[in-house]
Structure formats: C-alpha cells, structure tokens
Amino acid sequence: MKFGPVKPAEALGGTAVHSIRQDGLVLKKGTLIGAEHVTALEAAGVPHIVVARLEPGDVSEDEAAGEIAKATAGEGVRVDRAFTGRCNLFADDAGILVVDKDAIDALNRIDEAITFATLAAYKPVVAGEMIATVKIIPFAVADAARKAALDATKKPLVRVAPYKIKKVGVVSTRLPGLADKVVEKTLKITQERLNPAGARIVAERRVPHDQAALAKAIDEVLNDGAELVIVFGASAIADRRDVIPAAVEAIGGKIEHFGMPVDPGNLMLIGQARGQPLLGAPGCARSPKENGFDWVLMRLLAGLPVSRSDVTGMGVGGLLMEIVTRPQPRVEPKPEKGRRVGAIILAAGRSTRMGGPNKMTAEIGGKPLVRIAAEQALASRARPVIVVTGHDRERVEAALAGLKVQVVHNPDFAEGLSTSLKAGLAVLPAEVDGTLVCLADMPQVRTPLIDRIIAAFDPERGALIVMPTIDGKRGNPVVWARRFFPELMALEGDVGARNLIGRYPEAIAEVSVADQAAFLDVDTPEALVKAKAEIEGG
C-alpha cells in the first residue's frame, strides 16, 4: 500500500488518511478522493493531503474485515456490513457467548494489521448485542495476510449457545430463625436471574434441613418436570458429607464438584440427579449482586456442561467483592430502529449576561423559553426528557407545569455547566444508548431538527456523536453515545461536553442544516428581542 502526502491534484483515487477542516471544507478520514474533492481542497488552499492507495496484492480494509468476520461467525451470530475497516458481529438471540480463545489468539498473531476482539467468554448476551469485532488497522492488508487469517478460521471462533433449559425446580431447606420473607425474596431474585433465559420456576418445595426430607423434595420437583434443580440450604454446605450433597447421593445423584475459586460464591455445589443438573446454591445467591452462582447457572441454562476443570479455572477474575453492579441481561423492549436516545435540557444557569431577569422564564409567543425547549423535545423521538434546573428553581419548575418531563435539580449549578450535565446523566435510565444534550435558551431548535439528529445517530456505523452543521460551523443540540458518559461525568467546572469533541473526530456525524436555528441562543436582552421578532413574526 502506498502511503504519504501528495498535492490535491495527485490525490485523485486515493483514500484520505486524516480528516481535514479548513475554510469551510470538511473532509472526513476514509473519504475516497474524487474530482470534486480535489477542487474543494485546492479552493480551500490545502497544499498537501495524506492519502493511501492500494497496490497489487492488497485487499481493501472493508473487504478483508468482512471476509474474516464471516469466517469467524458460528451459530447464533449475525455479521454486519463492514465499515471503515471494521466489521461487527452481533448475537441473533439471547444466550451464552462461546469463544475459541486459542484460535482467536492465533488469529491475532498472524499480522498486526488484523485484529479480532470479543466480549468475555461465557458472557450472557441478549439479542442484538455486539459480541465481537474485526478491525483492519491500515486501509488495506496484504492478500497473503488475509489468506492466512481465513486459513486460521476454518471453523467458527465465536458462537452464541441458545438457552435450552426452561423449567427450573427450587427446593429451600428450613431451620428455626429462617423467616418466610427470606425464602420469598430468594425465589423472586432467582426468577429475575432466570428471566433473561426465558426460564421459569415450575416447581417449588420448602422442607426441613434434613437429608431424607430434602431427597424426597428433589425427587418431587424432578417429577414435576424440572430440567434443573436449585437447592437453597438454610445452612451453608460445609463438606461433601453435609445434608445437601448427602441428599443428592441418596437418590442416586452425583456430586461433580464442591467449592469454587470465585468470591462471593465459594460454597457452591455442582451435581446431577436423574440426569438433570443440580446446584447447591451458596448463600450469596440470595443476593441480586453478581457472584459465582451466576457464572455457573447461566451456562447450565444454555445446556453447556460445567466441569471440575471449568470451575477451577475461574480463579483469575473471580474476586467479585468490589463489583456493585449486576450485569445480568434483562429482557428489554426493542428500541425504535434499534436506537434509544434520551434528552437532557440544561436550564440551570444564572443568566448573568441578561442583566438581571432569568432568561429561562422569559417568554416568546406567551411561553417561557424552558417550556418551548421541553415541548419540542417531548414531541420528538427522545425519551425520557430530563430538565436540569438550578438558579431560580421554583420559577423554572413552575414554567414546566403539566409537561411529562423529569425535573432534576442541580444544587451545584453555580460551579458551572459540567455539574448540570452530570446531574442529567446520573438519572438517565440504563437502557438508553445515547443522550441528546439541549440548551434551554435556543427557542428556534424545533422537533424536526431534533429528530433528524437522532436519526443520524448510529453506533453500529460509527456515528457516535451527532451535531448540526452549516458551512463547517457546529451547533446544538448534540447526541452523545453512552460509551462517552464516563468521560462526560468526569468534566469539571464551567465546561460543557464540546471539550471532548476534539478527542474523537472520527466518531462525529454531521447533519447539514439550512438555517441558523442550531446556532442561535438567547444570552442577552438584544438576542431575546431578535428571537421574539423572528418567532412571533413568523
């Protein structure tokens, strides 16, 4: 592959290596240079542009990424169209991700230009979740390297094992002091764990903490159709000769393994009874927080065996004491066109440039500015719509009366814009894929523009930050993908999200607009008069 700087006239047919923004020209990385681009580059006074050109024996990044991705995909995996050298793989249905680690390591060692990354092995995934990605680092790869990669993928390297077990039996043993509400809560949490797999508790028994009573109860739930049995002991299993393992063996069952190098989860028992898997649950399984029980349960629900060697290999990464979030996938409603975007309206400022009155409650057409912004957002595809208040809280909230918005007060508004942004992000629901950040003092931003910006948001195609532009100038509002939320939450002082834009030029998608609505805010009395004249006169 040829690579280097050339004059614009010599760039024809090459691929732009870097994005260029100069004198109104916007040329994105990866653009195939045509005659119109050459003209625009010369008109903007760009002396040189770095381009890449394929040579004989080269394969384009998209072609190579797509071929390799298809070769790696197994059961339950969908391969997306390659884009900018990347080809993503997605789960077709809910299940457990199974990977061939040795083969993937070998693939990644073939050539530095070829990379293949996956989620963690045996991770529970939901339908539509991205599970792996092939990325070609340069704009092209040698055909010999591509062939070597395909030779290394003669069999699929990733697959999604669908959940197979749908009927679960639960037996709880009891001792004096174990309250009924503890058992009820345990059943509720267990069913929540089963929900992602589409499984349900079909049989349940509560018996004394006694070997004979427990053995009889296990038999009964198996007779009721249980395909997997979970036993919650009133007392933790202390030994292979304890009540739970003894009851399993009493009905002809077998103990596969007791104990595991995962904490919480050490005291778990894995066995089988009458050919069906059985788990003696550790005490931590009564909690919804992630523990070793989750790791084994979900694999068994997908019909994947869990051997002694599997369990003893869980030690690295098995210390879960500091994990406070539970990553169990939940059944969620499918979003419109696969993308869910919330809206955060920032309305906490002190309006210092207005010379006294709070611009949020200043009226245009008989409506306060903050209400105009909220109504336009509510009429769009954005959900939920969150309004962050601060200065003059009571009056701003009163201006929103009757609207189905979530109002969040930022007590630290005086410390700057970043605090209001973080207040809004903190209450966004977990299921949103991104958020639209709106300024409440832009009354000419209307619903159609908001929907155009949301429609351009497409994480699968690399459109992770979306904003309106005109002649290279960038306006508001802006959509940010969830992957940027941690960095947005780390902002400090009177700094907005725009400070991050320069770090991620390749993640930006621009929506070209014809008017100035996305660039006009009301910061001064003169701006308010002008906006009133334009809106009320129109």
Residue whose token pair is 């991700």: 97
- As a whole number of angstroms, the distance between CA 80 and CA 461 comes to 10
Give CATH for domain 58-162: 3.90.1170.30
pTM: 0.61
- As a whole number of angstroms, the distance between CA 408 and CA 424 comes to 7
Give CATH for domain 167-312: 3.40.980.10
Please, what's the largest Cα pairwise distance for the chain? 89
Residue whose token pair is 């009458």: 274
What tokens appear for 383 in the block?
Answer: 């959900």
- pLDDT in the model for residue 538: 56
Q: In the chain, where does the domain assigned CATH 3.90.550.10 lie?
A: 336-537
In terms of Cα–Cα distance, which of 402, 410, 466, 460 is closest to 436?
A: 466
- As a whole number of angstroms, the distance between CA 521 and CA 440 comes to 9
DSSP state of 467: E
DSSP symbols for 123-158: -EE-TT-EEEEEEESSSEEEHHHHHHHHHTTSS-SE
In terms of Cα–Cα distance, which of 122, 72, 168, 166 is closest to 304?
A: 122
Alpha-helical runs (H) found in 60-142? 61-72, 101-108
CATH number of the domain at 2-53, out of 3.90.105.10, 3.30.360.10, 3.40.50.720, 3.90.25.10? 3.90.105.10
What is the assigned CATH class of domain 336-537?
alpha beta
Rg of the chain's alpha carbons, rounded to an integer?
29
Per-residue pLDDT of the chain (538 residues; tens, 9 = 90+): 788 898 988 888 888 888 888 888 888 887 888 999 989 898 888 999 988 887 788 899 999 999 999 999 999 999 999 988 899 999 999 999 999 999 999 999 999 999 999 999 999 999 999 999 999 998 889 999 999 999 999 899 999 999 999 999 999 999 987 888 899 999 999 999 999 999 999 999 999 999 999 999 999 999 999 999 999 999 889 899 999 999 999 999 999 999 999 999 999 999 999 999 999 999 989 988 889 999 999 999 999 999 999 999 999 999 985 433 333 433 333 344 447 999 999 999 887 777 667 889 999 999 999 999 999 999 999 999 999 999 999 999 999 999 999 999 999 999 988 999 999 999 999 999 999 999 999 999 999 999 999 999 988 777 899 999 988 789 999 999 998 898 899 888 877 777 678 777 778 899 999 888 999 988 888 888 899 888 887 5
Query: Rounded to the nearest 5°, which phi and psi values hold at 132?
Result: -160, 165
- As a whole number of angstroms, the distance between CA 514 and CA 509 comes to 16
- As a whole number of angstroms, the distance between CA 268 and CA 238 comes to 10
Tell me whether the omega of the peptide bond preceding residue 477 falls within 30 degrees of 0, making it cis: yes
Residue whose token pair is 């080269």: 58
What tokens appear for 137 in the block?
Answer: 């680092």
User: CA geometry: angle at 225 spanning 219 and 229, to 5°?
Assistant: 60
